[in-house]
Structure 1
Amino acid sequence: MTACGIVLAAGAGTRYGQPKVFARDAVGTPWLVSVVAALRDGGCDEVLVVIGAEAVRAQRLVATVDGARPVVATDWDTGLSASVRAGLAAVAATDADLAVIAPVDVPGMPASVVARVLQAAVGPGSLARATYDGRPGHPVAIGREHWAPVSASVHGDSGANRYLSTHAAVAVECADLWDGADLDTR
Structure 2
Amino acid sequence: MAESSATDPGPDAPGTRTDIPAPAIAGLLLAAGGGRRLGGRPKALLPHRGRPLVEHAARALRDGGCAPVHVVLGAAEEEVRERAELPGCVLVGNPHWAEGMGSSLRAGLASLSPHTPPDAPLSRPPLHPPFGTTPPGPGPGAHGTAPYEVTAVVVALVDQPGVGAEAVARVRAAFRSRTSLAAAAYDGRRGHPVLFGAAHWAAVADRAVGDRGARAYLAEHHDALELVDCSGIASPGDIDTPEDLHRLNGGS
The interval holding the TM-score normalised by the smaller chain is over 0.9
Using the size of structure 1 for normalisation, the TM-score is: 0.93
Moved over 6 A (4+): none
The CA distance in 2 between the partners of 1:6 and 1:16, in whole Å, is 24
**Radius of gyration: which is bigger?**
2
Q: Does 1:90 align with 2:111?
A: yes
2:201 equivalent in structure 1: 147
Secondary structure of the residue aligned to 1:2 is strand
> Which of 178, 185, 190 matches 1:131?
185
More helix by share: 1
Report how far residue 139 of structure 1 moved: 0.4
Secondary structure in structure 2 of the residue aligned to 1:120: coil
Q: Which runs of 5+ in 2 are unaligned?
A: 1-22, 115-137, 139-148, 243-252
Do structure 1's residue 183 and structure 2's residue 204 form an aligned pair?
no
Structure 1: gaps of 5 or more residues: none
Per the TM alignment, residue 165 of structure 1 is displaced from its structure 2 partner at its CA by 2.1
| Partner SS, residue 36 of structure 2 | coil
- The answer as to whether partners of 1:36 and 1:67 remain within 8 angstroms in 2 is no
After superposition, residues 44-59 of structure 1 pair within 5 angstroms as 44-59=66-81
Give 3-state SS (helix, strand or coil) of 2:47's partner.
coil
Q: Is the 1:34–1:108 Cα contact (8 Å) retained in structure 2?
A: no
* Matched ranges for 1:43-122 at <5 A: 43-62=65-84, 64-93=85-114, 95-122=149-176
Whole-Å separation in 2 of the counterparts to 1:86 and 1:61? 22
1:22 is aligned to 2:76: no
Number of the residue aligned with 1:159: 213
Residue 38 of structure 1 pairs with residue 60 of structure 2: yes
Percent of aligned positions with the same letter in both sequences?
Answer: 41
Q: What secondary structure does 2:51 align onto?
A: coil
Equivalent pair of 1:31/1:105 in contact (CA under 8 Å): yes
How many residue pairs align between the two structures?
A: 184
Secondary structure at the counterpart of residue 74 of structure 1: coil
Q: Shift of the alpha carbon at 1:109? A: 1.3
Partner amino acid for 2:163? Answer: M
Q: Which has the higher contact order (CA 8 A, sep 6+)?
A: 1
Query: Matches of 2:194 and 2:47 in 1, distance apart?
Result: 23
Write the letter of the residue equivalent to 1:59: R
